[in-house]
Structure 1
Amino acid sequence: MNNQFKFLTYLSCILILISSCKKEVETPDTPPVITGLEADYYVVVKEALLLKPVIENVADSIVWVVNGQRVANALQYNFQAPAAPGTFSLIVMVYNRGNISQKVIQITTGQYLNWETTTNTILPLEASQKFTNKTDVKWEILSAPSDLYRLSANNATAQFTSVSRGTYKLKVSSADLVDTLLITVRQTAKPQSPFIYKVFDYLPAPGQFVNELPKYNAGDTYETMLTKVGKELIGEDANLITLGGWGGYVVIGFDHTIVNVAGRRDFRIYGNAFGANANPRPNAPFGGSCEPGIVLVAYDKNKNGKPDDDEWYEIKGSGNFSAENELWYSSAVNSKNDTRTIRNYEMTYHRPTVETPGTPDGFISINNYIQWSNNQGQRGYKIKNTYHAQSYYPLWVKDEKITFKGIRMAQNGIEESGQGSYFVLYAYKYGYVDNYPNPHDNSGIDIDWAIDKNGNKVNLPGIDFVKIYTGVDQENGWLGENSTEVGKGEDLHMLGSNIATVN
């Protein structure tokens, strides 16, 4: 018993001794996580790059190592590029209890600021920080593999876009401050189409081809009619649709930005204009069936894929402010046409109350057919002719009246026979759809003709969307109303067409 007691006493002492010698085990921290840094950077020689990582979890120490040499122990590191170009391996290491996390970064230094983009895409540019508060920053192209590009600058910011692949060298300067940029333009991964890609909106004004181009069927809605318009206009094998009388419109888009190339016309929207074969007027200017559609353009500033109300600019055609310089103007005045150009015009059309004609009066089947009024204090009726029996009012529209707003151009249709049988609709000089035959140079549109709502010229890098609306309100006897028709749309640069502009 005595020996057993001694053994237990001895064992207890041993356990106490072991317990007193045992060290407390430390629990490691959660490993730090490094974010906020890119894997690669490009820095112009003699410029600085401030690196500010975001560290999650506890960080006891942050160490920066460049090309194997420790250069800093701080929360951030200011890399100073030397005078000679080179490549640098930078490692940032973050320590805490029981952990080391690191991120490897490669820094390349060179003489140029490098940018990359793809064809027919707007690249926003911003001058480097050394140009801060400078108000005389200039941008210029030093070398380019093609002249199919646009550089639109506004002091310290600019926008660049190009049709062609390759490397473009740019200079940014303000007095003695200079930066040189290299922009590498690559082909897009997905092939781009030079033709209309999408139809966003369609609302024709009443006219003799409405509900026929495209065909309305009972039960059609706005959505189904928009789909029908898309089937007619999208792609290379497009057909015609009608915009009806004054104000009727369509909004289309492309799958890329049409580049605003200096000195050239940039796009064309087809119509069905043609010249008169037997105009009795000697030495007459070009005319026949010219039904000009006014053009608005927009580029996708906010990248939401659709045109917004604040993005539209007016293409200033030759008659947007006055027709006095048109070659046919004096003849139109002598014919007692309404030759005024009204820039804030509004016109309302009412749904017809009668569709069934009475006894025809020549080419007129219903004389007081569609009631209209405008913001000039005028009102009257559009006729229904004997050649088109369907309703001229867009039947998918549920409203009893439709109001359009825009520019009403001078009436360009002149009856030349003196007997009411030969109407010639004369062409405006430039700037419209369905105003010249499609192959004619004057069917091309230059984006540089764009102006803002105050009439000021704008410097657009390119455009993504186009709106066309019928620009003339005129009845031309048996020929019917002046109605713009719209067909295929095409990017002239992608198709290799070089059409010089006019100023």
Structure 2
Amino acid sequence: MIRTLLRSAWAAAALAAAALSGCNSDEEILGRPAPEIILSNPSGVYAVKTGRELLIAPEYRNAEEAVYVWLLDGEPCGDGPAYRFVGEEEGSRYLDLKVTTPGGTAAEQLRIDVEALTPPYITLPGAAEGFDVAAGTELHLAPVVQETLPATFAWSVDGTEVAATREYTFVRTERGTYTLRFAATNEDGTEHVEFAVRVCSEEELPFGWEFDRTEFGVTTGRTLTVRPVSLRNEAGAEFVWTLDGTEVQRGTQSEYVFRAGGEPATHTLEAAMNKGGQSLRRQFTITVHPPKAGYRPATSASRAACNAVYAFLPAPGQFVQFGYSAATMEEACAHARKTLEDPEAGLSLGAFGGTLVVGFDHSIDRTEGYELAIQGNPFEGSSEPGIVWVMQDENGNGLPDDTWYELKGSAWDDPDVVRGYAVTYYRPSGPGTDVVWRDNRGGGGILPRLEFHTQDYFYPLWADDGGTSYTLRGTLLPDRAYDQSEGTGEEEYWVLPDFGWGYADNWSAEAMDPDHGNLFRIADAVDDAGNPADLEYIDFVKVQTAQMAVHGRIGEASTEVFAIGDYTLLRRK
């Protein structure tokens, strides 16, 4: 069809040229030079934003008595020396120009790339819920603005402009609710975020807590810590804990340590958070299981490698959804299991908190040596350590829903290690954009995209159930990496030092098998207080990226896992 249109259009131009030549003598036509088209862009490729107009007005030589024919994607669209194009939809369009005179014909094909408008994109964690602040207390607001074009900024409070900066510190002594608006503007448009700030007295500040579960299991004789994963405005609050109707703890402690007795039982634990005459209450069920309720001894048919993936929830990272895609946790776990079956392939857990949870077809018994092997891809000067956690199937239901115990590594006593660290990652605005993050210690930033990774998203789209963010928690190791080329003028060369022993994807001279990776002992499992957990066996293993760091052109620190196995069986082969 397009070829037919082209032939018809060119034929019309030829007939018009013939008509022109019929009005001249042979002497006048003979020796006339052919026309020339001189484009303003010699490459022939033009770009325009959606909704915007593009004027294409070439210069011409020898164009007296010319007939002009323009075709847009094969369809006639103009007959003058210039053409005005309006970009309606994203994509590439092809524009053909033919100029015919009594002296001959010239033709050019142009491409017009219609690009999306790129107004600034604003992320301000917490804005959707609004902010509560005590009267006279500063609230520093630092939105993350992703812009590809220069932008200007404006802050207003209750409609009155107060600042033209990217960041703003709000403070008021008068109690009440204020409406704040932040706008960012560039040549493609304006985006804004509007939110409420409630200024209260100390007594009026809303308070709260969040728990990740309400049901707990523990084996007889062990301890279990019940604690909130987050607290809000807890200063001055009193916490009251009641076990089976009897008050067992009162004070400022927001956690409770339950000590299981020697017999199986089910207990009801209640917690109250009291402040300013108000109270928030939570109720939990704790089941005490008999020893070895879920124990499954190894047999001659047992596999050394893990045989099940229960969770694959990476943090955003350059290799997340690189070469694969997943829309649900089930699809992500299926991809992870298939990858772990391939000896040449590995899984990237992304930035801090990225998690992989696996199980085995048997319980792995504690021995006098190493019982667990995790294969990564470290080498000397390149370690991206992951924390390893283990769990027993205490309730015997075959699922990793009991208590996780961290395997103590060589950096356990390092004062820079942070336990209970949490990072919230915010869903990006669209393909190709960076990911904004905030932690539970007041820090934050962005995870930048690397130009040589071309997947649309390196934020796992199955992570937030269609929401706007998700939070990962765990233990944070300090970032010891450095750019060895700094100050030399040479290309970046990053060195990522190891952590001795006790971490996945970590170069180790002390606890590493060249064929099976990092080695671990069940005896190193500890409880929340750092006391030995005294596990006789384990059923589930969790690996968690342990650093929150971006290292220049090589990107974020990201633990990789290629295989997880029962080392007591692997070394028999």
SS of equivalent to 2:448: strand
Determine whether 1:320 maps to 2:412. Answer: yes
Q: CA deviation at 1:408?
A: 1.1
Tell me if 1:240 matches 2:346. yes
Q: Given that residues 311 and 329 in structure 2 are in contact (C-alpha distance below 8 angstroms), is that contact kept between their aligned partners in structure 1?
A: no
Whether contact under 8 Å (1:415, 1:423) holds in the other structure is: yes
Please tell me whether the aligned partners of residues 320 and 407 of structure 1 are also in contact (alpha carbons under 8 angstroms): no
Aligned-pair identity (%): 35
Question: How far does residue 238 in structure 1 lie from its aligned partner after superposition?
Answer: 6.6
Give the partner amino acid of 1:428.
Answer: F
1:401 aligns with 2:474: no
Larger radius of gyration: 1
Residues 272-291 of structure 1 deviation map (CA, whole Å, 9 limit, x = unaligned):
1122xxxxxxxxxxx2x210
User: Following superposition of structure 1 onto structure 2, how do residues 69-468 of structure 1 map, counting pairs within 5 Å?
Assistant: 188=299, 191-212=301-322, 215-216=324-325, 220-234=327-341, 237=343, 239-262=345-368, 264-275=369-380, 287=381, 289-308=382-401, 310-322=402-414, 340-356=416-432, 369-390=434-455, 391-397=457-463, 398-418=466-486, 419=488, 421-436=492-507, 439-440=513-514, 443-468=518-543
Tell me what 2:165 maps to.
none
User: Contact 1:161–1:259 (CA<8 Å) still a contact in 2?
Assistant: no
- Using the alignment, how far apart are the partners of 2:337 and 2:519 within structure 1? 22
SS of the residue 1:380 aligns to: strand
Contact 1:162 / 1:259 at 8 angstroms: preserved in 2?
no
> How many pairs align?
279
Structure 1 unmatched runs, 5+:
1-123, 125-156, 164-184, 276-286, 324-339, 357-365, 499-503
Q: TM-score, normalised by structure 1?
A: 0.51
Change beyond 3 A, Cα 1:403–1:247: same
How far is 1:481 from its partner?
0.4
> Amino acid of the residue matched to residue 269 of structure 1?
I
**In structure 2, how many angstroms separate the alpha carbons of the residues matched to 1:480 and 1:461?**
40
The alpha-carbon deviation at position 476 of structure 1 amounts to: 0.6
Equivalent-residue separation in structure 1 for 2:447 and 2:305 (angstroms)? 35
What is the rounded CA distance, in whole Å, between the counterparts of 2:336 and 2:450 in structure 1?
Answer: 25
Pairwise CA RMSD: 3.2
In the superposition, relative to structure 1, how do residues 484 and 351 fare at CA in structure 2: closer, same or farther (>3 Å)?
A: same
Residue type of the alignment partner of 2:498: A
Q: 1:160 and 1:400 mapped to 2: Cα distance?
A: 40
Separation (CA, whole Å) in 2 of partners of 1:307 and 1:244: 22
Once residues 469 and 348 of structure 2 are traced to their aligned partners in structure 1, the CA distance between those partners, rounded to angstroms, is 19
| Residue type of the alignment partner of 2:338 | K
Distance change (3 Å), C-alpha of 1:487 and 1:375: same
SS in 1 for 2:337: helix
Distance 1:238 1:464 in 2: 25
Look up the SS of the partner of 2:330 in the other structure.
Answer: helix
Greater shift in the superposed pair: 382-391 or 247-256: 382-391
SS at match of 2:496: strand
CA contact (8 A) 2:293 2:394 kept: no
CA–CA separation in structure 2 for the residues paired with 1:261 and 1:460: 11
TM-score by length of structure 2 reads 0.45
The Cα of 1:251 is off from its aligned counterpart by 0.2
Partner letter of residue 303 of structure 1? Answer: G
Q: Relative contact order (C-alpha < 8 Å, sep 6+): which is higher?
A: 1
- Superposed CA deviations along residues 79-133 of structure 1, whole A, max 9, x for unmatched, are xxxxxxxxxxxxxxxxxxxxxxxxxxxxxxxxxxxxxxxxxxxxx9xxxxxxxxx
- Structure 1's consecutive aligned runs of 4 or more residues displaced over 6 angstroms after TM superposition are 157-163
